[in-house]
Amino acid sequence: MIHVIRLNAILLASLIIITGCAETLQFTKKSDPTPDSNSTEEATTLLIPPSSSPEVSDEKFDPSVSEIETGSSDPLDASKLAETEPTAKSPDTNETQSMLDEALDFCQVSQEFWQKGELENALEALDQAYSLILQVEAEDNPKLIQQKEDLRFTISKRILEIHASRNIVVNGNHNAIPMEMNRHVKYELERFTTGPEKEFFSAAYKRSGLYRQEIVNALKEAGLPEELAWLPLIESGFKVKALSSARALGLWQFIPSTGYKFGLKRNRYVDERMDPTKATQAAIAYLKELHNIFGDWATVLAAYNCGEGRVLRLIRSQNINYLDNFWDLYERLPRETARYVPRFLATLHILNKPEEYGIDKITPDAPLVYDTVTVSRQVRLKDVAAAVDASEKELIGLNPELRYKLLPGDQYSLRVPAKKGDVLMAKIEQIPVSNLPQASYRYHRVRKGETLSVIARRYRTSASKIARANKIRTTSIIRVGQRLKIPQSGTVVASRTSRNKKSYGQVSRHVVKRGDSLWNLARKYGTTTKKIQRANNLRSSRLSIGQVLKIPGAAADTAPQSQSKIYRVKSGDSPFKIAQMHNMPLERFLRTNKLTPRSKIYPGQKVYVE
């Protein structure tokens, strides 16, 4: 009977994987920490049909401890499965829920056995769980039915994974990185030392001094090979803000879902994937998990790059024990991943013989030295830098995870230059509080049956403003799926070019700055790109910084006058106060700065005054 149950589960899981009809959702169950884990949370992976599952990235799959974004910052506790039930339960419902809870416990026990390498015991626990859910009858309770289906998919998938893991020789240890030399490694070694990537390698090696010693210390404490401290050289070139085409970010190149899974916070203020210390701890946890799964560092590195799910699928398709020679799998991996392992091994060979490859002539940057101060005030790094007599660039380098150079304002651990911590604490109350600037626009995807008027009512704006923001007419036809810019409250949208003949006789001059283009100049001055090109005899749309342009048809009051000066907004300022302070009519101040009576201004913002 047990073997029949297990066979049915395996066939079901195979069907799921072949058809791709299921996605992954994690339900985390609290448990006591195991000796092999630093985490007090372990997760049970549930599979549910796409119709009811959230969108989850298949980039990196975790068979042991996994926590994927489900729209809430709190993981679901196993005990909470029952909380969704009606408060008044019948005896049958209570008994059914108890059986499902027991099945979930067996899934967790199976997970613990698997982590310890006791595969037979792990399979026996899953058999027990599967036999329990076969006894569950919950035809009249949709929530219990959903729990049953979730567990059934989980058990089936886990059995398949355990059988696949039998094809992996878990005989490595944390200190066994194979220093192989073959044609693949030689090719990458030549690129780094004499080929097109020599400059990249040298620059990355120089930057490594900033972070490597801290990474080495963390690896030693975790019992992992020190050589892994060179992985960021391959991943990001030791650039904390390196961003890949797959949206992987930071020294260790975490995608958002994997970063979240390993505790890297990401919100409006911070993205901890760019924090070297926190990202290193997350990378260590991930590498330890991968080593527990594969037991071979070459495979671990491949899985770190392209995701363990993809590597496991390749293993399942193999009929041989490929890990007797990792390079049997080399040709079947994605090209980027296939090169990843030899690139890392080439790096180790070069750094083991720095004199031979000329690396000894490069002096790595000095490690970062700083004080850490807990700040509960929402202030800008620029203002903090002025208070402690340091440069803003230095503070940005110490706190790269701050997305807008603005502290969150809730017990944030700010790094400041050494011996500046006490200075900051003494002056923190004198630093002005700042806020994130309001976005000028948001975006809307047109749905069936929507018109500009309908969309305008939804966002509390006008159809004419939306039309002007998108360079269309209010009578224009909008298509389903079209992406429209929606101006936020207080945003001034330039009107269409005036047809008044008086505007044609007005000409002003503009000195081209970084970021200028004919299009935004035409919009700024209320004219057209063709008129600017014609007035300046331009054959193309290319501009150069410092170039002086004649702007035809520009209204005299739309651009700041030559006698105007710049005023930096302070805390407590309002358009009325600033206009009164500089003896300007409020209407002129608003028009000069392209503001409306409802516009908001922020400390640090530059405005024109007379």
Just list the catalytic residues: 235
Encode 466-505: b = buried (16+ Cβ within 10 Å), e = exposed: bbbbbeeeeeeebeeeeebbbbeeebebeeeeeeeeebee
Q: Rounded to 5 degrees, what angle do the CA atoms 16, 22, 26 make?
A: 120
CA-CA distance, 63 to 107, in Å (whole number)? Answer: 12
Can you give 544-564 as a three-state secondary structure string?
CCCCEEEEECCCCCCCCCCCC
483 dihedral zone (left: phi>0; alpha: psi -120 to 50; beta):
beta
Angle at which helices 142-165 and 119-134 cross, to 10°: 160
Q: Are 439 and 488 within 8 A, CB to CB?
A: yes
End-to-end distance of the chain based on CA atoms, in angstroms?
90
Question: Which amino acid is located at 33 in the chain?
Answer: P
Closest CA to 343 of 235, 195, 208: 235
Provide the pairing of β-strand 548-552 with 565-568. unpaired
**Which tokens go with 415?**
């790094």
Q: How far is CA 156 from CA 10, 27, 46, 410, in A?
A: 6, 16, 10, 44
Q: Are 122 and 162 within 8 A, CB to CB?
A: yes
Query: Long-range CB contacts (< 8 A, 24+ apart) of 302-306?
Result: 302/329, 302/333, 302/337, 302/340, 302/341, 304/231, 305/336, 305/337, 305/340, 306/59, 306/333, 306/334, 306/336, 306/337, 306/340
Q: Are 347 and 192 within 8 A, CB to CB?
A: yes
Token pair 């985390």 in the structure block, residue: 28
Q: How far is CA 293 from CA 10, 17, 116, 151, 185, in A?
A: 20, 19, 10, 22, 25
Encode 528-563: b = buried (16+ Cβ within 10 Å), e = exposed: bbebbbeeeebeeeebeeeeebebbbbbeebbbeee
Side-chain-facing half-sphere of 17: CA atoms under 13 Å: 21
Bridge partners (DSSP) listed for residue 607: 567
Q: Are 223 and 174 within 8 A, CB to CB?
A: yes
Closest CA to 576 of 603, 601, 604: 601
The one-character DSSP state at 273 is G
Number of neighbouring beta carbons within 10 Å of residue 82: 18
User: For the chain, what's the residue count?
Assistant: 610
